[in-house]
Structure 1
Amino acid sequence: MNEASQVCGKAAFEEGRGRAVEWAFLDGTDRSRALFEQALTSALSQIRTGWSRATAPTSGAAFEDLRATFAALEILPEKGLGLDFVSQEAGERIGAHAVSVWHPNYAGHLHPPPMLPSLVAEIFIAATNQSLDSFDQAPAATTIERLLIEWLGTLAGFGASADGVFTTGSTEANMMGLLLARERAATTLAGWSIAADGLPPEAARWRILCSEFAHFSVRKGAHVLGLGDRAVVPVAAPDGSLSGPALAAAIERLLQDGDRPIALALTAGTTDLGSIDRIGECATVARDHGLWVHVDAAVGGALLLSSHARLLDGVHLADSIAFDFHKLLFQAVGCGAFVARDGRALSALSRDIPYLDRIDDAFDPGPNLVGKSLLTSRRFEALKLWMSLRALGRQGVAEIVDATLSNARRAAEAIARSPALELLAEPVTNIVIFRWRSPTADPAEVDRINRMLPSSLWRKQTAVIGRTTYRAAPALKLTMLHPNASLEAIDGLVSAIETGGRELLDAHD
């Protein structure tokens, strides 16, 4: 790029108030490219400034405070403020209240610091703006996604007949698994076309089984698919993992009651415990009864690339699997995939789309992926995974996943040593569940402090930790997603939780 174009771009960026058509687009000209480079430079500068100011995992601000701050800014001013101004404003005002996902005391959710290859990929994704509904909108992106889906099918042990699509995450992918289960039940049990006629009368007795610790998206999916929350039958899992005998007994009870189980939703990495259902034995029971077997591997899917792959033994018996790469594979949100063992099942999602279909063309350049997805327009999320896998290699990915699980065990050990904390379950993946306790406080007070502690730590900008309910009592949880966290940092987080609980107790006395 010549010097004149660079100067022109810089001037346009700093002014950014001329005719919008002259500066607002990356249009292939030297001037627009220079402007884009200046915009990236400014954004990086704002991010660096934010990093230097962010010494806590959160600003501690509440919604009403932030609403008052941002409501004072006119959303659509009559005349634009310029790209330089709004970029600085985003860094100073919005960035100041972004949670610091990289902070070792940010341990509340399955929401990791994204790895660098993923961030670089995001720039490519946004700048090229490919849309994966049709091949002619995203030729390279379509090809990369297809190759990754084939690779994921092999990773899961599904074989050459597998097919799938990238998703926004496992909520979408879990719904796809249940949708295909519903479609198969309609066809095989009722000789019915849901696409043409909606749900058959028999659907009122269809049931979906899952562990009591399954993700809420299973219930949401059943609701959206017209089966209703009552169609979901949670099965007790005393140790956190659904077992074959418990599943078989639950299926028998449903059959005796006149209900028809159609699907089993297994979990490889529950949100509250990080536990993994006994996939092999449960899948065998389910297949014996003709159930569709779906595995929600949002958390545990990454273990297939680590030394812990044995925890997913039997996953090859599933009919479908959901992956979330923006969890233990540290991708920027949202990046997931759905893979079916028999790709023909995805035909349930296909529709005739005249403005996209090219069946009458003499030359068909490539496949349209819209017929495999719940969505139409889709971003090139697959690039993030592609670049990350190639940049790190199998050894690098395994190192990161193994280190993350190791840190969860270290946190559990620190909690077990603490007289103020009670470890409720040994960690299987990267989630540690526990309670604050006190020998001098009554049970109601202990429950109150466990409910209040996450919010108190948030307001004080000390830590972001999770809260849930376990065995009918309020509980706390750490979601460890910092593979490079030191033992001192982990001990510091546990110490901060101890102190926070003690302060709440003292304030109430």
Structure 2
Amino acid sequence: MSGAADGSLDPADWNAFRALAHRVVDDMVDRLEHRRDEPVWRPLPDDVRTSFDGPLPRTGIGAEAAYAEVLARVVPYSMGNDHARFWGWYMGAGHPVGNLADLVASVLNPNMGGGDHAPVLVEQQVVRWCAEAVGYPTDASGLLVSGASEANLIGLAVARSAVLGPTVRSDGLAGTGRVAVYASAEVHSCHRKSCEVLGLGEAALRLVPVHDDYTLDVDALAEAVAADRAAGIRPLAVVATAGTINTGAVDDLDAVADLAAREGLWLHVDGAIGGFLGLSGRADLVRGLARADSLALDLHKWMQAPIDVGLVLVRDEAAHRATFSVVPAYLRHATRGLAAGDVWFNEYGIDLTRGFRALKVWMALLALGADAHGAVMDRTTALAHTLADRVDAHPDLERMAPVGCDIVCLRYRPDGRADLDDEELDAVNRELVLLVQESGVAIVTETTLRGRLAVRVAIGNHRSVPDDVDLFVATLERLGPEAVRTVAPAAPSPSAAPTPAPGATPR
């Protein structure tokens, strides 16, 4: 299927391309329908891995042949987060409505930087709908971005400009003195990157101790702020977390907001995991979220949108725009024509050219409704507590933390191997994670809690069902002993030494 005779990149035969397009859709729908029957993840064979080492193709092989390569070398060896038992790191499974929306968005291919066209209105409505869903003011400024990492960066960038003043844009940080940003010791690593990128430096990020349930210790936060003020360091902002990455813990947002108000700090909430809990039966966990000056959300996590799409909300629209707005002559706004439009999104973030991420969120909320997304949160939370109960009742498993949001942290500790020390148990559980991944049964990951390695199971997947939890526990029971044998085989028991035969002379 070669290019058109006019030299464009369109197909020469539209009917043949249409047939291929229908086949692609059928193949992908078949994959989704039967995905549960396949391994979650497959290791890449060496020949497939080396097949990606080839040179740049100067002459095309045609769309059909190229699609055959996709089916052979890409589809079987993808990450696996479209599978019901992908519980690693934290990402949603995507959904068919979003998949179709991505196709439409790709065909339309609008630049969402601005202009007077319907896709811009779609994004504006998605911003308002999401603000309503989380209980934030619906007149807040908002921007869809690649994910919560970018959303958190933008939130802190607005905080930097709002607190330190407009000269930050013209003169940089010269003369502003040292500043501090406060967050829980369990805060996501993207906040360190944000401090570095914004010129504040890693040293500006103060990691405050947490309680036994891994939530921010607000008294310790107050002490840290007071100590910095006494040392001549300017407190800038505090980051509260609604759903920490390790355990899903939700900070006491009201208490943090009270402190931020007393101390004159910008309050930013990282709601990448739990920000949308307001749609669920546990909305009380995020009481106080609406008091934030800025808020980061992730729609490709618990909200299940296909990757990638996140959202930053900022209460003060003027502060948001003042942080990023640059309008060169060639982007001058108009009152009519395509260059009209009330909101130009490129003035509220880093990107000038922006993809149509909004459509997959808008279409899903129209098709499925916000309540369906909240029901998914309730159901996956229940599955996480089911797993936690199974762990608590199992002689060879122990739970390492309270269940936060829908995350369970556990540890394999075989009942008959009291000789294993903590370092050996770390190695056993690291091996167990790899064995589970390689088995194809599930994808879980590891993390470290209070210096000890834990198996982390993040059940934020709308396709997961109770049978998946049963299969996972059975897999731990089956592979746990193998992990122990690999890492710390038991020493032979003295009682197992052979007994000399009667009358035999010992050597």
TM-score between the two structures when normalised by the length of structure 2 = 0.89
The answer to whether structure 1 residue 405 and structure 2 residue 381 are counterparts is yes
Partner of 1:105: 85
Partner of 1:57: 40
**How much does 1:247 deviate?**
1.8
AA partner of residue 177 (structure 1): G
Q: Which residue, out of 444, 447, 458, partners 1:468?
A: 447
Instruction: Give the aligned length.
Output: 480
Q: Which residue, out of 430, 435, 442, partners 2:411?
A: 435
**How much does 1:386 deviate?**
0.9
How many Å separate the matches in 2 of 1:457 and 1:294?
A: 37
RMSD (CA atoms)? 2.3
How many Å separate the matches in 1 of 2:239 and 2:367?
A: 33
Q: How does 1:21-36 map to 2 (within 5 A)?
A: 24-25=9-10, 32=14, 34=15, 36=17
Partner of 2:260: 286
Partner of 2:124: 146
**How much does 1:256 deviate?**
2.3
How many Å separate the matches in 2 of 1:112 and 1:161?
A: 28
**How much does 1:461 deviate?**
2.8
Q: Please, which moves more after superposition, 289-298 or 496-505? A: 496-505
The answer to whether structure 1 residue 300 and structure 2 residue 274 are counterparts is yes
Q: Which residue, out of 211, 214, 217, partners 2:184?
A: 211
AA partner of residue 59 (structure 1): R
How many Å separate the matches in 2 of 1:118 and 1:494?
A: 31
Q: Deviations over 1:193-219 (max 9, x none)?
A: 01111113334x200000011100110
The answer to whether structure 1 residue 247 and structure 2 residue 230 are counterparts is no
Partner of 1:76: 56
Q: Which residue, out of 97, 106, 119, partners 1:117?
A: 97
Q: How does 1:82-481 map to 2 (within 5 A)?
A: 82-136=62-116, 139-159=117-137, 161-187=139-165, 193-203=167-177, 205-238=178-211, 239-346=213-320, 347-359=322-334, 365-366=340-341, 367-439=343-415, 440=417, 441-443=419-421, 444-481=423-460
AA partner of residue 219 (structure 1): R
How many Å separate the matches in 2 of 1:132 and 1:36?
A: 28
How many Å separate the matches in 2 of 1:486 and 1:154?
A: 29
Contact 1:186 1:194 in 2 (8 A): yes
Q: Deviations over 1:60-109 (max 9, x none)?
A: 237x66531322xx453332111001111101211110133243332112
How many Å separate the matches in 1 of 2:451 and 2:127?
A: 40
Q: Deviations over 1:322-361 (max 9, x none)?
A: 1101000100001111110111111210012221212587
Contact 1:268 1:300 in 2 (8 A): yes
How many Å separate the matches in 2 of 1:49 and 1:384?
A: 20
Partner of 1:47: 28
**How much does 1:475 deviate?**
1.1
**How much does 1:50 deviate?**
5.5
How many Å separate the matches in 2 of 1:362 and 1:424?
A: 59
**How much does 1:266 deviate?**
1.0
**How much does 1:485 deviate?**
2.8
Change in CA separation of 1:489 and 1:173 when aligned onto 2, cut-off 3 Å? same
How many Å separate the matches in 1 of 2:47 and 2:276?
A: 38
SS of the residue corresponding to residue 276 of structure 2 reads helix
How many Å separate the matches in 2 of 1:405 and 1:40?
A: 38
How many Å separate the matches in 2 of 1:484 and 1:160?
A: 31
Change in CA separation of 1:268 and 1:379 when aligned onto 2, cut-off 3 Å? same
Change in CA separation of 1:39 and 1:442 when aligned onto 2, cut-off 3 Å? same
Q: Please, which moves more after superposition, 152-161 or 341-350? A: 152-161
How many Å separate the matches in 2 of 1:252 and 1:263?
A: 14
Partner of 1:67: 49
The answer to whether structure 1 residue 38 and structure 2 residue 19 are counterparts is yes
How many Å separate the matches in 1 of 2:130 and 2:394?
A: 41
Partner of 2:503: none
SS of the residue corresponding to residue 201 of structure 1 reads coil
Change in CA separation of 1:247 and 1:127 when aligned onto 2, cut-off 3 Å? same
How many Å separate the matches in 1 of 2:481 and 2:42?
A: 22
How many Å separate the matches in 2 of 1:364 and 1:69?
A: 46
Contact 1:134 1:370 in 2 (8 A): yes
Q: Deviations over 1:154-204 (max 9, x none)?
A: 4444435411111111100000111111112221xxxx601111113334x
How many Å separate the matches in 1 of 2:79 and 2:50?
A: 19
Contact 1:153 1:341 in 2 (8 A): no
SS of the residue corresponding to residue 176 of structure 2 reads helix
AA partner of residue 57 (structure 1): V
Which structure has greater helix proportion? Answer: 1
**How much does 1:434 deviate?**
1.2
Gaps of 5+ in 1: 1-15
SS of the residue corresponding to residue 369 of structure 2 reads helix
SS of the residue corresponding to residue 269 of structure 1 reads coil
Partner of 1:17: 2
When Rg is computed on C-alpha atoms for both structures, the one with the higher figure is 2
Q: Deviations over 1:412-462 (max 9, x none)?
A: 112222222111122121111111112414112211112222223223334
How many Å separate the matches in 2 of 1:116 and 1:363?
A: 32
How many Å separate the matches in 2 of 1:208 and 1:482?
A: 33
How many Å separate the matches in 2 of 1:431 and 1:132?
A: 35
**How much does 1:507 deviate?**
3.1
SS of the residue corresponding to residue 432 of structure 1 reads strand
How many Å separate the matches in 2 of 1:210 and 1:202?
A: 21
How many Å separate the matches in 2 of 1:342 and 1:109?
A: 33
How many Å separate the matches in 1 of 2:127 and 2:219?
A: 33
TM-score between the two structures when normalised by the length of structure 1 = 0.88
AA partner of residue 215 (structure 1): H
Change in CA separation of 1:459 and 1:199 when aligned onto 2, cut-off 3 Å? same
Q: Please, which moves more after superposition, 316-325 or 404-413? A: 404-413
